[in-house]
């Protein structure tokens, strides 16, 4: 029997969850599903340019698992681009942060904001505009999937 799939950390949901070729009715298209963890792997590796070890740490999986996730995701995206079929982003066993965390470069203040509130303009403490998203968001993830190396704890 195969081991159960572990939760993968995903920083946020994508703004757009479906893509299709222009001029072709969606009803007539075949569709490929890109899971949320596959989307996150592409975002971390290809958009943010992280090495696999760094990206794996952010997703709370091993480097080998990250390698398998990114390989599958890239194959799906290549298939969509070369064959003209639709892509939908959904599903997967994931965990998301309860808040987004920001750091101030000026006073080193760290604070959290709920999703959907927009990016802050300035630090609430010193009013500096020199702020950025924090990379260390481990404390803000919900319980249930925080076992060692991403192994899920069973919920009652």
DSSP the chain: -PPPPPPEE-S---S--EE--TTS-GGGS-EEEEPHHHHHHHIIIIIS---HHHHHHHHTS-HHHHHHHHHHHHHHHHHHHHHT-EEEE---SEE-BSEEEEEETTT--EEEEETTS---SS-TTT--S-EEE-S--GGGBPTTS-SGGGPPPPP-
- Within this chain, do residues 49 and 89 fall inside the same structural domain, yes or no? yes
Residues 90, 36 share a domain: yes
In a shared domain, residues 55 and 132: no
Q: Which of 152, 135, 146 is nearest to 55 (CA)?
A: 135
Domain count, the chain: 2
- The residue range of the domain holding 90 is 8-96
CATH number of the domain where residue 129 is located: 2.20.28
For residue 81, what are its two tokens? 């681009």
Is residue 125 domain-resident?
A: yes
Same domain, 25 and 76: yes
Q: pLDDT tens digit string along 103-134?
A: 999 998 988 887 667 788 999 999 999 988 87
> pLDDT tens digits for 90-110?
988 888 777 778 899 999 898
Which tokens hold the place of 117?
């509130």
Confidence of residue 151 (pLDDT cuts 50, 70, 90): very low
What CATH number does the domain containing 41 carry?
A: 1.10.10
Residues 125 and 103 in one domain: yes
With respect to residue 27, please indicate whether it lies within any of the assigned structural domains: yes
Asked if residue 94 lies in contact with residue 39, where contact means CB atoms within 8 angstroms, the answer is: no
Do 119 and 81 reside in the same domain of the chain?
Answer: no
- Residue 152 in domain: no
User: By C-alpha distance, which of 82, 68, 85 is closest to 33?
Assistant: 85
Q: What's the average model confidence in pLDDT over 140-153? A: 47
Give pTM, 2 decimals. 0.69
Q: Within a domain: residue 75?
A: yes
* Share of residues in the chain with pLDDT > 90 (%): 48
């Amino acid at each position: 029997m195969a081991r159960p799939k572990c939760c993968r950390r995903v920083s946020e949901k994508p703004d757009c969850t479906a893509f299709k070729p222009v001029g072709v009715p969606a009803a007539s298209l075949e569709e490929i599903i890109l899971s949320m963890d596959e989307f996150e792997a592409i975002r971390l590796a290809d958009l943010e340019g992280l090495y696999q070890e760094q990206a794996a740490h952010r997703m709370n999986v091993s480097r080998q698992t990250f390698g398998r996730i990114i390989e599958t995701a890239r194959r799906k995206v290549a298939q969509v681009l070369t064959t003209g079929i639709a892509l939908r982003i959904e599903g997967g066993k994931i965990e998301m942060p309860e808040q987004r965390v920001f750091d101030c470069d000026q006073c080193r203040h760290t604070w959290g904001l709920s999703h959907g509130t927009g990016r802050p303009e300035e630090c609430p403490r010193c009013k500096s505009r020199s702020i950025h998203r924090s990379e260390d968001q481990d404390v803000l993830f919900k319980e249930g999937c925080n076992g060692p190396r991403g192994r899920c704890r069973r919920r009652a």
